[in-house]
Amino acid sequence: MRFVYSLIRFVPDPARGEFVNVGAIVGSDSSSEWQVRQVENPVRARAIDDRSLLDGVWSFIDRVGVDIDRFELELESLFGPTGELNEQWLEDLYRDHQNIVQLSPPTPMVAETADDAMDSVFELMVLDPASRRYRFKKKHVALAAVRTAYSEVNVRKGIDVRERVQLRTSHHDGRFDFAVTNGHVLQLTQTFSFQVPDQEALAEQVKAWGWTIHDARESGGSISTPDGLSFDVEANVDIEVVYVPPELDQDAPALREAQSIFDELQVNALPVSGASTVASRAHELLVAAGVGRLDLP
């Protein structure tokens, strides 16, 4: 997956040009995943801080962290973030900070997750090896896989497929990551990660999501999009789940519970490796519904 990164540099005297890398920002437009990390032991930065300027560096990193935290929380809300964090956001940070805090030019890299990208950046360029913890893959991996798969079959973002929609039924509301539409909803797709440590909370989340699907299967419903559009949902709508499977040696009771819910509610659930199958089904549904500009590349 494509990521971009910028190193965060402490430059106590911009005229002199001496600097120390004290952190990094990494992120991906594909997965909407962003991270910031600072060094655990800033001994090298303190060694050149002859004017006691480091507090300004930590304040900058804190502000970036707050922006990322807000963005992550709003991604999980019904109508998504009020402002996007993307490669242009990082480019603006780079251009706007040319004093004691400077960023290296945003640079592309390839990694499987943001954790992997950040670990690589720290190991190679920050010289402050963080203690490596167990890294679990978040749902961002599945989000990126679905976005890429839709794009590869010309299911167009904002035209054929809309993100972060709210499904309303007679008794429940729930959020879906993707809705493929053509006058009405043809396909709903949700992503999960079954690698998360808190399996109990995840199981409860899937159960709550399942009640909304149960209502939709009984009497249909409607979705609303972040830009104010509304589409009807029929009871037999195609519902897909793309999930990050647990590690081979991981106990994942949430997946076992979820599979019974998926089966009962006629939900097609596939691991991330099956995202292309979901996209192909969306393509077929759109063609059957009369969309004319969907020739496969």
147 shares a domain with 43 = no
* DSSP string covering 1-28: -EEEEEEEEE-S-TTT---EEEEEEEEE
Geometric angle at alpha carbon 234, from 258 and 153, rounded to 5°: 75
145 shares a domain with 284 = yes
pLDDT reported for residue 292: 52
280 shares a domain with 157 = yes
**Which of 75, 101, 126 is where one domain is finished?**
126
The amino acid at residue 98 is Q
Q: Which domain holds residue 224?
A: 140-288
159 shares a domain with 98 = no
pLDDT reported for residue 81: 59
180 shares a domain with 101 = no
Q: For 242, how many CA atoms within 13 A lie in the half-sphere containing its CB?
A: 27
SS3 state at 254: helix
Asked whether residue 6 is assigned to any structural domain, the reply reads yes
Cβ atoms < 10 Å from Cβ of 238: 19
105 shares a domain with 8 = yes
pLDDT reported for residue 79: 57
Cβ atoms < 10 Å from Cβ of 226: 14
Asked whether residue 154 is assigned to any structural domain, the reply reads yes
Asked whether residue 294 is assigned to any structural domain, the reply reads no
247 shares a domain with 280 = yes
Q: d(Cα 207, Cα 201) in Å, to the nearest integer?
A: 10
List the chain residues with pLDDT less than 50: 129-131, 296-297
Q: Partners of 266 in the beta sheet?
A: none
* DSSP string covering 118-187: HHHHIIIII---PPP------THHHHHHHHHHHHHTT--BTTTEEEEEEEE-SS-EEEEEEEEESSSEEE
Asked whether residue 59 is assigned to any structural domain, the reply reads yes
Q: d(Cα 157, Cα 165) in Å, to the nearest integer?
A: 13
pLDDT reported for residue 135: 74
- If one counts the domains in the chain, the total is 2
34 shares a domain with 85 = yes
Asked whether residue 274 is assigned to any structural domain, the reply reads yes
For residue 246, what is the DSSP state? Answer: P
274 shares a domain with 242 = yes
- Residue whose entry in the numeric block shows the structure tokens 């309303």: 168
Asked whether residue 227 is assigned to any structural domain, the reply reads yes
Give residue-wise pLDDT tens across range 69-111: 999 888 776 555 567 899 999 999 999 999 999 999 999 999 9
Query: What residues contact 35, with CB distance under 8 A and at least 6 apart?
Result: 25, 26, 27, 68, 114, 115, 117, 118
226 shares a domain with 95 = no
pLDDT reported for residue 110: 95
73 shares a domain with 13 = yes
**Which of 76, 104, 126 is where one domain is finished?**
126
Q: Partners of 271 in the beta sheet?
A: 243
Comparing CA positions, the residue from 273, 269, 246, 244 lying closest to residue 258 is 269
**Which of 97, 126, 155 is where one domain is finished?**
126
75 shares a domain with 191 = no
Q: d(Cα 109, Cα 105) in Å, to the nearest integer?
A: 13
Asked whether residue 195 is assigned to any structural domain, the reply reads yes
What CATH number does residue 279 fall under?
3.40.1350
